[in-house]
Amino acid sequence: MAKSQSEENSKQESFGTAKVYINNAKSILNKATGFIDYYDFTLNPYRGCQYGCSYCYAAAFSPNSKMRQDWGNWVIIKQNAVEILEKELQKWQKKNPDKPASIYMSSVTDPYQPIESKQMLTRGLLEAMVKYQPILVIQTRSPLIAKDVDILQQFRRLRINMSIPTGSEQVRKDFEPRTPSISARLKAIETLKRNIRYQESHWIRFSVTITPLLPTFPEDEVDFIRKLEIVDRVVIQEFHPTQTRSLVAGTRQEAENIKQKYSWWYDNEQLNYLQFKEKLDLLLSGVEIKEGKAGFGFE
């Protein structure tokens, strides 16, 4: 009988509350499709995510239904990722000598989830990539990214997307209690902007992705929005449609249950979405405001 994906992964240890497994990946660059088909590839250093956000669509891509239900309590380390990436980038460069690969890191995990502080796998991948100078977008909600400023500043075409779905700490704690604070994420962006030296030939930009748009208490809205002036782009998006099938990306039932606590927002979700966008447009005159898929392109 063939082994399941979870059986093929060898358990290494625990890290925090998560079970940690090691896996050898067959490929690390996967063709980008759907929502991020602007790019040639997606790159996911890990499988699973310790942040375990209640609404995360990536749970749909767990190895099996049991691990889907246990989302946030396991992570798989792709231990050969750097070696595989080197080979795949060499192959791309040979076939496309005048066209750098465009890479979105990451689509179904956070490359800077807590295990990265120990494994430094994402850092190793960045070190491998910088030699080939791909067009790179990094999607994270972790201040850990700031520790790699020395490598990040070597990229010529880079966009860093910091996910901050709400401007209210209580809302964050309800929907994504394991994640870093809002202030820590904003501070990380400030640190990166302050320490990445300007170079005329480099194109490095910063976004805040408010995706999905979660409620922000009225008393927090203006202060939160004004703090977003440090980036050049803000992206907003509503929740994915709810899906019950195991391998379909959608809003998980866990998040649907939490939404009931915020009926003052979700009973008029469309109106609140539009009003929040209007405030972004009004208060962030020098910042590009984009919605949904249009906001996840590189430029």
Three-state SS letters, 88-133: HHHHHHHHCCCCCCEEEECCCCCCCCCCHHHHCHHHHHHHHHHCCC
Omega of the bond prior to 134 within 30 degrees of 0, cis? no
**Are 226 and 182 a contacting pair, CB within 8 Å?**
no
Which tokens hold the place of 85? Answer: 């990436």
Strand-pairing partners, residue 147, are: none
**Are 180 and 142 a contacting pair, CB within 8 Å?**
yes
- Residue 299 is classified by DSSP as -
3 state SS of 97: coil
- Antiparallel, parallel or unpaired: β 233-236 and 203-210: parallel
Of 101, 104, 116, nearest to 146 (Cα)? 116
**pLDDT values of the chain reduced to their tens digit, one per residue, 299 residues:** 344 444 445 666 778 789 999 999 999 999 999 889 999 999 999 999 999 999 998 998 999 999 999 999 999 999 999 999 999 999 999 999 999 999 999 999 999 999 999 999 999 999 999 999 999 999 999 999 999 999 999 999 999 999 999 999 999 999 999 999 999 999 999 999 999 987 888 999 999 999 999 999 999 999 999 999 999 999 999 986 554 444 344 566 889 999 999 999 999 999 999 999 999 999 999 999 999 999 999 98
Of 221, 186, 171, 211, nearest to 291 (Cα)? 211
Would you state the pLDDT for residue 239? 83
Which tokens hold the place of 97? Answer: 């000598």
Task: Give one DSSP letter per residue of 140-194, joined into a string.
Answer: E--GGGGGGHHHHTT-SEEEEEEE---S-HHHHHHH-TTSPPHHHHHHHHHHHHH
CA distance 145 to 138: 9
Task: Give one DSSP letter per residue of 259-272, joined into a string.
Answer: HGGGHHHHTTHHHH
The amino acid that residue 277 corresponds to is K
3 state SS of 29: strand
Would you state the pLDDT for residue 246? 40
Strand-pairing partners, residue 140, are: 162
How many CA atoms does the CB half-sphere of 109 hold within 13 Å? 25
Would you state the pLDDT for residue 257? 93
**Are 130 and 151 a contacting pair, CB within 8 Å?**
yes
Burial class, 112, CB count within 10 angstroms (exposed 0-12 / middle 13-18 / buried 19+) = buried
**Are 135 and 103 a contacting pair, CB within 8 Å?**
yes
- Antiparallel, parallel or unpaired: β 41-43 and 29-31: antiparallel
Of 44, 117, 111, nearest to 84 (Cα)? 44
CA distance 167 to 188: 16
Give me the residue spans of the domains in the chain. 28-42+79-240+270-296
Top CATH class of 28-42+79-240+270-296 equals: alpha beta
